[in-house]
Structure 1
């Protein structure tokens, strides 16, 4: 258990969160402050080498400095480090002592990062006690209080271990694989080593011995190259076990000798003894300091009493009162004992209820994930066949029926997407991006996609964009597009023969931060004061009559409110019945003024000549195979079909394709696993993932496996062809020209 905890400890020690991502001093550091940072850096170096006694010595020096400077946050950090090292050494009682001291300071200090680390330590303690669901819950609390990339990577790793402990192998594998390609500036190789070990343990638990051996060897190679002692030992032990299970005894003996040589070394035995002695000494010193402080307070009170006769009299009276109170307290002691028994019973009941609630949430999440995928698969057939029939010159009457069928399919798909989006937010499955984008381009693309809707409702869309807004901002453009899509779509739905105004104004700019005010205003039917109180609730559209007349799910504004919460913003509303509504909010962005503006930002659709392309379709559903193949044939694209991941690997290895359309969810080998295998012998051929994306799907995992792009099923034909052109045809043309 000690080593299982160890790999989640070091995330705080690589100076990304408490030591580099969160600088202790806003001003130019003094010589003393530089000395404090030197202690911390040296402690980090010792800890990474598993030299715990020296690391504890350096942290003790840092804590002494923080006490002298009355630096509460520095003390919080030091206590957390002491707690984490003691957990690594298997001294849980000492870890809880130091964690408790940090908790006292956190009660009087606003320190979000320190709070996140505190939840993280509690998650580790719960994990060590076997409370895996509660540990996962605590990790979620930690994630909600920090955006430090290194800490989030470490939480991802610990979540993988927690999922593996409760046999949720798919989630654990996704977490580990995402860390194999991490770009962590501090712990890239360490995270890779732990991820390889996690995958090896997963494979061993599923009796996949060849895969377990390969991953353990990868972990050993990374550990040896970087001097990761613990991971080096664990890799040796795992390889010994795997080769023994595979009856490859010579190789098992080789790795076992290496393991025994290290474990039997006198240096390690002496070091572990020194580590325990140092930890005990430091804890004893801190306890003695507390006793000394209390003795000093008693001496001060005693000296004050000697200086004042009145104080002495009052002290005597106070002692008499205390004696009387002691008698009363003694009489009430039995009542308190009974009360404590009742409280402990209730506490156990509450813990059981919380575990049941966590399990119920997990069951709900899994159910929605399954339902979403199962509904999207037949929807793909409905929308795909409708598209094909519309292109086969139907009669006017048939065309009207097909358009009605297409509208119904799109409506049902939007409903499924809204439900899935809400539950992703509730289940905290949404990750925030931090990428550079052009805000005016994002808004223009949304407005362009809604032009047909505006034309049908005879409503004009007007954009008033402040030119002072920086052209290069950092945030999550995908979620920002979803916010504007819902707000503008909602405004168009309730506005006929009117106008929809979209306003973006720069509120202020300081250094590399910009605050922008947004407003979407319409001249539609408006919202009454009573309806405004519930308009952001799920499935709420104001009234049954509005729902019947205008349709919709009533989830759009709920999604907007939830997404803005992820940005730390809040949606506000002003509306007058019969005159229109205005939805507005403000948002902070990080900006990049040193980048050169891209001149064009208009949305352009390219026309491609696909004739001559030959692709591989990987799809287990027979109807979907027929639809996808016919859609490709419409563009004169030839294709082969693989019905599962194993066939896909064999066909990709024996044929040359211009691209692969890879279904993700398949029985047996999944699309992600098949892509990973293909990339071992073919790193060039473009692969597009076709997925009925579910609650647990991670786009990052698709790209990490080797996919070039992702198309969500059921997809719009124009999007499908555009992706094929960008990923299959354009690389082929560039290769031909070169």
Structure 2
């Protein structure tokens, strides 16, 4: 015989004996009326615990009610208790235990004339049928239940189940009618709880009908009621519903907010420990019910022992022995069930966490892409602002106009730096950055950084010097662009906070092993310094130490965050030593590969002063009319002539029909992109320098530009000196290399 059959046999025997005892004692005993009131009070307490999802407490109160009902031989109260057991376990998803108590209630109903009990029994059976997916059987049982009793609370619960069934079969009109009735219900026991459940179901229906605004209203109403009364399950459901609806509306910040609330609820200690506690409590109650039968048999055994009725004693002992053996078998079976249930719970929890993680990541990606798109789109009008300002400054404006134009240029440069920082942070957060592995000259990279910031240093009356170790190999393998960004941020930061002082850029060789070197870098100044408290957060985004510093020195507070993140790509870590009023020192170590074979490489480096732009003829590929005008005027200032192509197809045709010294290629254009146009041009001309001009976005990759055939990249909006430098380098350096 299987453990499940033993379990059912014992349960059936136990309840048969109990029913016989109750029926027999009902003839001779009198009911304790005060006990009925006490059980009713316990039921009210149980209702609160059930609503708040405190299943362990609810089970304990029902156990008290069952004990009182059995002691007073009140079959109706015992029936009501079994019904509540069944209802609670069904709501908790334990269908097997719910059916067990519903079956026990069925046995008691056979010998009772109790219309409310039969009505509630039908209601529970309807709920079971609905749980199976038998919608129309459930509706029929609910109608029978309504005819047997006019109890208001039962009627409201019937309305709720009917609404759920109507929604299931897409009869939304009847479902909404029932749910609106429940929102304004006057139930004296479950008014707030029923209104909460009704709002949640209305939110679900609104979501199904794509009425998102109505869905938000009902979800928030449900959340407000649930939080006010402590309905744990409903709080979780409302947060889940709101996160889904806000994500559909495109309001990703709100969606992420409710998703975070949901994660806090799911990961709370209460939620994790509650499942274990509920399982233990439920198991204990079942065990106690069975131990009650053993105790009764033991008492009976003692009474028979006193009367020396050996045959009856033997029968009782045998029964007790069999009962104990059966209980042991049932206990083993239940332990196995508990393990299975715990495993299911953990599996479900993991799945929920995975879904929540995916949702949170999707919301974060949407937010990141939105910021990236905004910063990208801002570059086009900003190109017009900075370009026109530069042109106006070079056309000898009046003195009173020059002051305004300089202010406009400063504001444009500040906005450009801010956009660049935001884009850089977005790329880092989205894991879009990977370090390049190309050959470069470290000394030239650092010298360029120092030279480009000498003007800033002069304005601060500060000395900016480079201390470079000559033992460092000439050619290194790495990412010169990101290393340059690190030092631009560190040196720029040092100059911002140093006046009438000195800023040093130090590069030292620590160790060299064959093709691997370990380098030490440091940027130190004798500026205002950083206090110990401010040092703790100085590398956080938008953090500048204090509001006063931000107002006095300006800036975005993103520079050091970018430095920390970029160095992380090289498995390096930034360190800080500083004392308030005595300057700061930022230092780090970096491992790079070197290439000694290229020590004798011929250098073709040219200074900007050596560029003779007169007579050059280039092709400008640009779809924006304002950008065309600005770029053409900037070229004309250097006596460079140009043709204009409005799109990629025109660029290909003009490149085939004419000879140009270089092509300035916009990347983002209607029709074919600049990358595709470059690929097509490279099929018939592999020599012409092609410089990509682009408002680079989060999804753009410098590698893809080079792979398409571009020789260099200039991001818009650009500084004029950088623009001319790139043109000169790519045209004249290539010519010199060709001569050699």
Q: Which TM-score tier does this pair reach, normalised by the shorter chain?
A: 0.5 to 0.7
Aligned-pair distance for 1:731?
Answer: 5.1
Q: C-alpha distance in 1, partners of 2:405/2:680?
A: 41
Equivalenced residues, count: 414
Is the CA contact (8 Å cut-off) linking 1:495 and 1:522 kept in structure 2?
yes
* Corresponding residue to 1:443 among 442, 446, 458: 446
Is the CA contact (8 Å cut-off) linking 1:444 and 1:602 kept in structure 2?
no
Corresponding position of 1:643 = 646
Q: C-alpha distance in 2, partners of 1:600/1:639?
A: 30
Is the CA contact (8 Å cut-off) linking 2:434 and 2:569 kept in structure 1?
no
Q: C-alpha distance in 2, partners of 1:571/1:509?
A: 21
Q: C-alpha distance in 2, partners of 1:600/1:488?
A: 27
Q: Secondary structure at the match of 1:408?
A: helix
Change (3 A) 1:647 1:508: closer
Aligned-pair distance for 1:456?
Answer: 0.7
User: Structure 1, residues 693-727: CA drift from partner, whole Å, max 9, x if none?
Assistant: 11111122112222222211111112212222233
Listed as ranges, the matches of 1:508-587 within 5 Å are 508-587=511-590
Q: Secondary structure at the match of 2:692?
A: strand
Corresponding position of 2:678 = 675
Is the CA contact (8 Å cut-off) linking 2:477 and 2:594 kept in structure 1?
yes
Change (3 A) 1:537 1:731: closer
Is the CA contact (8 Å cut-off) linking 1:429 and 1:696 kept in structure 2?
yes
Is the CA contact (8 Å cut-off) linking 2:436 and 2:478 kept in structure 1?
yes
Is the CA contact (8 Å cut-off) linking 1:441 and 1:602 kept in structure 2?
no
Q: C-alpha distance in 1, partners of 2:512/2:557?
A: 36
Q: C-alpha distance in 2, partners of 1:482/1:414?
A: 12
Listed as ranges, the matches of 1:231-270 within 5 Å are none
Corresponding position of 1:461 = 464
Listed as ranges, the matches of 1:74-223 within 5 Å are none
Q: C-alpha distance in 1, partners of 2:596/2:659?
A: 45
Corresponding position of 2:377 = 374
Aligned-pair distance for 1:421?
Answer: 0.9
Is the CA contact (8 Å cut-off) linking 1:615 and 1:638 kept in structure 2?
yes
Corresponding position of 2:343 = 340
* Corresponding residue to 2:704 among 701, 704, 712: 701
Is the CA contact (8 Å cut-off) linking 2:575 and 2:586 kept in structure 1?
yes
Q: CA RMSD in A?
A: 2.6
Change (3 A) 1:384 1:495: same
- Which consecutive unaligned segments of at least 5 residues does structure 1 have? 1-323
Change (3 A) 1:591 1:649: closer
Q: Secondary structure at the match of 1:639?
A: strand
Corresponding position of 2:23 = none
Is the CA contact (8 Å cut-off) linking 1:458 and 1:496 kept in structure 2?
yes
Corresponding position of 2:692 = 689
2:483 is the counterpart of 1:493: no
Q: C-alpha distance in 1, partners of 2:513/2:653?
A: 57
Corresponding position of 1:425 = 428
Q: C-alpha distance in 1, partners of 2:411/2:662?
A: 32
2:599 is the counterpart of 1:596: yes
* Corresponding residue to 1:484 among 482, 487, 492: 487
* Corresponding residue to 1:472 among 454, 472, 475: 475
Corresponding position of 2:655 = 652
Q: C-alpha distance in 1, partners of 2:545/2:669?
A: 42
TM-score, reference length from structure 2? 0.53
Change (3 A) 1:640 1:444: closer
Aligned-pair distance for 1:730?
Answer: 5.9
Q: Secondary structure at the match of 1:538?
A: coil
Listed as ranges, the matches of 1:247-396 within 5 Å are 330-396=333-399
Q: C-alpha distance in 2, partners of 1:441/1:724?
A: 19
Is the CA contact (8 Å cut-off) linking 1:376 and 1:692 kept in structure 2?
yes
Corresponding position of 1:505 = 508
Aligned-pair distance for 1:601?
Answer: 10
Is the CA contact (8 Å cut-off) linking 1:616 and 1:641 kept in structure 2?
yes
Q: Secondary structure at the match of 1:629?
A: helix
Is the CA contact (8 Å cut-off) linking 2:604 and 2:736 kept in structure 1?
no
Q: Secondary structure at the match of 2:703?
A: helix
Change (3 A) 1:555 1:616: same
Is the CA contact (8 Å cut-off) linking 2:576 and 2:587 kept in structure 1?
yes
User: Structure 1, residues 582-640: CA drift from partner, whole Å, max 9, x if none?
Assistant: 11111122233444266989983243332332222211111111111111222222222
Is the CA contact (8 Å cut-off) linking 2:606 and 2:733 kept in structure 1?
no
Is the CA contact (8 Å cut-off) linking 1:527 and 1:575 kept in structure 2?
yes
Corresponding position of 2:401 = 398
Is the CA contact (8 Å cut-off) linking 2:380 and 2:717 kept in structure 1?
yes
Change (3 A) 1:490 1:597: farther
Change (3 A) 1:534 1:451: same
Corresponding position of 2:104 = none
Change (3 A) 1:658 1:436: closer
Aligned-pair distance for 1:504?
Answer: 2.4
Q: C-alpha distance in 1, partners of 2:735/2:336?
A: 84
Corresponding position of 1:633 = 636
Q: Secondary structure at the match of 1:497?
A: coil
Corresponding position of 1:720 = 723
Is the CA contact (8 Å cut-off) linking 2:608 and 2:728 kept in structure 1?
no
Change (3 A) 1:401 1:672: same
